[in-house]
Copies of this chain bind each other. A is one copy, B any other.
Amino acid sequence: MTRPARTPAVPVDGVDEVAALLRGGGGRVSAVRQRLLDVLFAAAGPASAERLAGEVRRGGFPVDVTSVYRNLEHLEQLGVVRHMHLGHGPGLYALTRSGEQEYLVCESCGSVLGVEPERLDAVREQIRAEFGFAADFTHFPISGTCAACAADA
């Protein structure tokens, strides 16, 4: 049941930087790829493949979701993109632009809180001490109830 090892995050600052990475790995910088990267760089937060495809199309460039999935996978292998599963629904993709992010998701209202890994180090340490387990909330988030929902419950 071993999964392919996770590529280390490769934070990038712009499309051209990714282009260099792509070409360096024998890849090409296709039009679709460029548009998708534009959208990723412009995105406010993690987004589904479908949504990203929609954004690219809204830019006047027809693209198939299949292609978006393939590209996201490719970019993920390069370490430029990461995907996560925030509750039910489709997987979400985001640039690793400024390093990893970890997530807390409210099961009641669906709100997503993205935090820097350091803020979870104490938690991680606690879990390691108790179970010898290295917790990681970048791919699957911490699930529960946010303060707001707890308040009006």
- A-side residues, CB < 8 A to B, are 1-3, 85, 87-88, 104, 106-110, 113, 115, 119-120, 122-123, 126-127, 130-137, 139-147, 150
Contact = CB atoms under 8 A, between A and B. Distances in A.
A89 B135 CA distance: 20
Given A126-B122, A136-B145, A143-B136, A131 B113 contact: yes
27 contacts: A1-B108, A2-B108, A3-B108, A87-B140, A104-B131, A104-B133, A107-B139, A107-B140, A119-B130, A119-B131, A120-B130, A122-B126, A123-B126, A123-B130, A127-B142, A132-B146, A132-B147, A133-B142, A133-B144, A134-B145, A134-B150, A135-B142, A136-B143, A136-B144, A136-B145, A139-B143, A140-B140
- Work out how many copies of this chain go into the complex: 2
A134 B130 contact: no
Nearest to A148: B132
Contacts of A142: 127, 133, 135, 142
